[in-house]
Amino acid sequence: MAKHLNEWYTEGLLQQKPEVVRSIFAEFLPPVIAFVRANAGTQEDAKDVFMYALEIVYRKLKAGELELSALFSTYLQAICRRHWLKSLRRNKFDAGVTPDDPVVSNTMGKEQDTAFSENSERKVLFAAKFQENTNVINKLGTL
């Protein structure tokens, strides 16, 4: 094993050593599965996310662009986490939630009522201030 565990993982992954790859899967895949399943995903989703993260790490290693300042596991799990959350947001956006959905329409109705009443109050206040300014300008014009 190399001096540091990070070196063992990065060098082993770069050299495609089977024992390192098995170790990475054995140690780091279960927490990713737990995270993805806790956040509306499946085990298959977690495996896809994990493979995506490994591919990113491998490409960065191969290009010489990866310089770890944290543990390998932290870096790998951060990529998995960000990728999964990004895909959740994308799926939520692509789901096509419409204003006609009961939860959305109920919420929108309350927000629109509040906005309308606040907007009406602002309009009345604005009109009063505008009239005051108009009166002041008219008085200055007559001087």
pLDDT for 23-70, tens place per residue? Answer: 999 999 999 999 999 999 999 999 999 999 999 999 999 999 998 888
Closest CA to 87 of 50, 141, 129, 140: 50
Please calculate the CA angle 41-43-49 and round it to the nearest 5 degrees: 75
pLDDT in tens, 67-112: 888 899 999 999 999 999 999 888 776 655 554 555 444 444 444 4
Of 74, 63, 100, 84, the C-alpha closest to 9 is 74
Four-point Cα dihedral 43, 49, 51, 55, nearest 10: 180
pLDDT at 139: 77
How far apart CA 116 and CA 23 sit, in angstroms, is 60
**Where does the chain have alpha helices with state H?**
5-14, 18-38, 43-63, 72-94, 102-142
pLDDT of residue 141: 72
Residue 70: both structure tokens together: 């944290």
Contacts 24+ apart (CB under 8 A), 122-127: none
Whether 6 shows a pLDDT value over 80: the answer reads yes
Average pLDDT over residues 115-129: 69
pTM summary value: 0.63
User: What's the pLDDT at 106?
Assistant: 46
